[in-house]
Amino acid sequence: MLNTSITSDESAYIGAAYAYTQGLGLNQEHPLFFKLINSLILNIFYSDYNLEVPSINIISGEESIEARLAAFNLGYNLLMEKSNNFHQLLFNLRLPHLFFNSFIFFWLYLYTFIFKKMPEKVSVIFAILYVLSPTFYSHNFLIAFDVSVSVFALLSILTLMVIYQSLINGENRLLEIHFIVFTFCLFVAISSKFSNLILLPITIGTCTVIGFKLFKKKNISGLINFSLLTFSSLFAQLFLIVFMYNWAFGKLTNKSIFDKIWVFIDGIKMNLSTAGGIREPFWNGDFVSITSLEYLVKIFWLKENPGLFMLGLFTFSILIYTLTYQRQVIKNYINRQNLPLIILGTAYPLIYFWLTKDSRFIIGYRYFYPIIVFVYLLIASLTVFLKHKWQKYVLLGGLTLYVYLGMLGIPQSLSYVNPLWNQEKWKLADDSTINWGQETEHGVEYLLTHKLLPKDNDNTITYQLFGVNIGFVQYLDLLTKIQDYPINIQSYYAQSRFNPETETITQLPHQYLLIDSTVKQKIYVQRETNPIAAENWNFLSNNKPIYSRNDIIFIYKIS
């Protein structure tokens, strides 16, 4: 976790968490659960931090850019307050995300080996696909919500399937426990991102079907018990949401319960307004206007473990063969009893896909995680059709390859791109799962380790990096204090940044240039239309950097 520099959005969520310690809510565009967990950590272990939370007038129904930026600035001030605490503070605030995202393993153990509701083979294979997925192991510890929103949506659906199956089969012994697990998973899911609110109509629809079936069977006592559990679960969501918003926004001027609910609703509106925007992502050498579906179809094959494609091809081939030649086997799995479970299990990813497929607000592959995790489950589930010994040997070989390739990808961390992409990584995309500012500290460490930075920045280095408010100079400030490295940090703060559109690299008076993939992409795209970009591209293509990491961050010696 400490090898990954702070990424773009993390400082905003940290700032919001600190604001919640004082009941002065910020960052309403995301639900509160994980930020409140971090707020609790700050309250207990970092109570000696005394920062002023800016007074923001949050008006219901109006989006405030000031409120958005305030969370970033507050997080920046908190992290920079005590340099010696920076890494430990960041680690401690990331740890709850890793802990909660690991709940999936507890759920799999509980429902596979204790309750016996999930086939062991499916559970183990899914766990392997998840653990060795570069998509998830590089992201699950960040102070972000993309993994949590996916994991807890999946667990909510799986637990709801268990409840459905138990009631239809008349197994009521552990029903209360299943509802407790479901309530927790649903709460964390919808408290991670507003997009998971699509779980509510799925839940209500499923519970309505269950209630109708119980009524049809004239199981009135079972219907009453189920209705009470359903109502309690849904009421718990409302109660906990109001409780969280009262905690986080309790000291603002609007204090009524309805005001807190409106803050929640305003957060939904802010997300909907953002989702309707347009962003043209960099893709394979150019900035292009594409939809989410088009982007997913392109990048999926390059961001996933290649072993997944082999396993997917193999299991789908067996499924097609079974559908064609062994219809009796299919009838054992796809029948009137299992069909509702299949519909329920596919409802969430299909609805999520349908709602997002035409969006042109392309930020990163991470927005497709809620679909990807269901793809893993689908592939794992299809292994139930493997009956012959040779099929099991092929499966074992595919899993071995998956594990091997997954371990090979670990050093790439968040910027993972699989071997199917044989060009420089920066040429692929400006995706937040490729460059989210996660390599900055390593570049600074290199400069300090090799003592390339003098005390005063008298045209020693200039830079331009992805927009993270704790960037090059901030890490330089932190690390020089930690290492007792003599430096006049103000001379580095005062240095203007490199502008790739108006400044020619070879004419810069500096000795070193620090850039990242986003700068290379901008120069590369403009090389045909901008003479300055053409000269800069000529320099970059004919000079090897003295340092690079994961083909994301680069240091060039100019003179």
Share of the chain above pLDDT 70, in %: 95
Of the candidates 386, 365, 381, 345, which has an alpha carbon nearest to the alpha carbon of residue 126? Answer: 381
- In which band, very low, low, confident or very high, does the pLDDT at 333 lie, cut at 50, 70 and 90? low
Of the candidates 530, 529, 498, which has an alpha carbon nearest to the alpha carbon of residue 515? Answer: 498
Task: Assess whether pLDDT exceeds 80 at residue 121.
Answer: yes
| Model pLDDT, residue 322 | 82
Of the candidates 348, 457, 422, 412, which has an alpha carbon nearest to the alpha carbon of residue 551? Answer: 412
| Model pLDDT, residue 193 | 93
Distance of CA 253 to the CA centre of its chain: 33
Task: Assess whether pLDDT exceeds 80 at residue 89.
Answer: yes
| Partners of 429 in the β-ladder | 283
d(C-alpha 437, C-alpha 414), whole Å: 10
Q: What is the mean pLDDT of residues 49-74?
A: 75
| Model pLDDT, residue 332 | 67
- In which band, very low, low, confident or very high, does the pLDDT at 290 lie, cut at 50, 70 and 90? very high
Q: Two tokens at 321?
A: 């063969």
d(C-alpha 516, C-alpha 465), whole Å: 6
Of the candidates 428, 445, 436, which has an alpha carbon nearest to the alpha carbon of residue 514? Answer: 445
The beta strand positions in 204-309, using DSSP E, are: 278-279, 282-283, 286-287
Cβ-based neighbours of 481, under 8 Å, separated by 6 or more = 83, 84
Q: Is the dihedral of CA 215, 219, 224, 226 positive or negative?
A: negative
Contact 30, 145 (CB under 8 A): yes
| Model pLDDT, residue 438 | 93
- In which band, very low, low, confident or very high, does the pLDDT at 476 lie, cut at 50, 70 and 90? very high
- Tell me which amino acid residue 377 is: L
Q: Two tokens at 334?
A: 């796809």
Strand 553-557 with 512-516, pairing: antiparallel
Task: Assess whether pLDDT exceeds 60 at residue 60.
Answer: no
- In which band, very low, low, confident or very high, does the pLDDT at 55 lie, cut at 50, 70 and 90? confident
Domain residue ranges in the chain: 1-101+132-275, 291-432, 439-557
d(C-alpha 66, C-alpha 533), whole Å: 34
Task: Assess whether pLDDT exceeds 60 at residue 62.
Answer: no
- In which band, very low, low, confident or very high, does the pLDDT at 11 lie, cut at 50, 70 and 90? very high
Contact 75, 48 (CB under 8 A): no
Among 47-51, 107-111, 260-264, 385-389, the minimum mean pLDDT is found in 260-264
Task: Assess whether pLDDT exceeds 90 at residue 447.
Answer: yes
Q: What is the mean pLDDT of residues 309-335?
A: 81
Task: Assess whether pLDDT exceeds 80 at residue 148.
Answer: yes
| Model pLDDT, residue 229 | 95
Q: What is the mean pLDDT of residues 356-374?
A: 92
pLDDT tens digits for 303-318? 999 999 999 999 999 8
| Model pLDDT, residue 400 | 97
Mean pLDDT of the chain: 91
d(C-alpha 383, C-alpha 225), whole Å: 36
Task: Assess whether pLDDT exceeds 60 at residue 63.
Answer: no
Is residue 108 classed exposed, middle or buried when 0-12, 13-18 and 19+ CB atoms within 10 A define those classes?
buried
Among 23-37, 195-209, 385-399, the minimum mean pLDDT is found in 23-37
Q: What is the mean pLDDT of residues 310-328?
A: 86
Task: Tell me the C-alpha to C-alpha distance, in Å, between residue 169 and each of 222, 291, 520.
Answer: 12, 43, 60
User: What is the helix, strand, coil percentage profile of the chain, to 5?
Assistant: 65, 5, 30
Task: Assess whether pLDDT exceeds 80 at residue 260.
Answer: no
Is this structure's pTM higher than 0.85?
A: yes
Task: Assess whether pLDDT exceeds 90 at residue 381.
Answer: yes
Is residue 220 classed exposed, middle or buried when 0-12, 13-18 and 19+ CB atoms within 10 A define those classes?
exposed
Backbone phi, then psi, for 550, in 5-degree steps? 55, 25
| Model pLDDT, residue 339 | 86
Among 209-223, 343-357, 431-445, 480-494, the minimum mean pLDDT is found in 209-223
| Model pLDDT, residue 468 | 85
Q: Two tokens at 511?
A: 């000795």
Among 225-229, 285-289, 462-466, the minimum mean pLDDT is found in 285-289
Among 56-70, 273-287, 338-352, the minimum mean pLDDT is found in 56-70
